[in-house]
C-alpha cells in the first residue's frame, strides 16, 4: 500500500526566505506526482505536476523535483511571501490494478510566512 510522508508537518519562516518542503513515497511505481496548495477551509489548487519520466517542473517561484527511484520529491519556494501561507499537499498517482489511476495524499506541510 502506497504511503506518502511529508516533512516537516509545519514550518514558520520570515518573509523573503527560500524554503524546501519534502515528500517521500513508498511505492516508486508512480504515474505522476502533484503538489497542491490548500487554504483553510478551501479546496485544492494544483501547483505543479511532474510526470514519472520527468525530474522537475517550474512555475514562477516554485520548483518541484522528483527522484522516482528513491521515492522523493521536493518543493522549493523562492523568496517566500505572506501570501504563500497555506498547507502544501503532495500526492502520487498510481494505477490501481483495476481501471483507474488514483491519488494518494500526504498529510501536508502547514507553511506560515511572517511579514
Partner 1 sequence: GAVVSQHPSRVICKSGTSVKIECRSLDFQATTMFWYRQFPKQSLMLMATSNEGSKATYEQGVEKDKFLINHASLTLSTLTVTSAHPEDSSFYICSARGFGRGSYEQYFGPGTRLTVT
Binding site for partner 1 (CB under 8 A): 4, 31-32, 34, 36, 41-46, 49, 89, 91, 93, 98-108
My answer on whether omega of the bond before 8 falls inside 30° of 0, hence cis, is yes
The smaller minimum CB distance to partner 1, of residues 45 and 58, is found at: 45
Q: How far is CA 73 from CA 4, 36, 55, 87, 112, in A?
A: 11, 13, 9, 16, 21
Q: How far is CA 100 from CA 93, 95, 103, 105, in A?
A: 10, 6, 10, 16
Closest distance between partner 1 and the C-beta of residue 15, in Å? 25
Closest distance between partner 1 and the C-beta of residue 16, in Å? 28
The smaller minimum CB distance to partner 1, of residues 77 and 89, is found at: 89
The smaller minimum CB distance to partner 1, of residues 33 and 77, is found at: 33
89 CB neighbour count, 10 Å cutoff = 23
Closest distance between partner 1 and the C-beta of residue 107, in Å? 4
Closest distance between partner 1 and the C-beta of residue 13, in Å? 20
The smaller minimum CB distance to partner 1, of residues 17 and 95, is found at: 95
Amino acid at each position: 500500500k502506497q504511503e506518502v510522508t511529508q516533512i516537516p508537518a509545519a514550518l514558520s519562516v520570515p518573509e523573503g526566505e527560500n524554503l524546501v518542503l519534502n515528500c517521500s513515497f513508498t511505492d516508486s511505481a508512480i504515474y505522476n506526482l502533484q503538489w497542491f496548495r490548500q487554504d483553510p477551509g478551501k479546496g485544492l489548487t494544483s501547483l505543479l505536476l511532474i510526470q514519472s519520466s520527468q525530474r522537475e517542473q517550474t512555475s514562477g517561484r516554485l520548483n518541484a523535483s522528483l527522484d522516482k527511484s528513491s521515492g522523493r520529491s521536493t518543493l522549493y519556494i523562492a523568496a517566500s511571501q505572506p501570501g504563500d501561507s497555506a498547507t502544501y499537499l503532495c500526492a502520487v498517482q498510481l494505477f490501481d490494478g483495476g481501471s483507474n489511476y488514483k491519488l494518494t495524499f500526504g498529510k501536508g506541510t502547514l507553511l506560515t510566512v511572517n511579514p
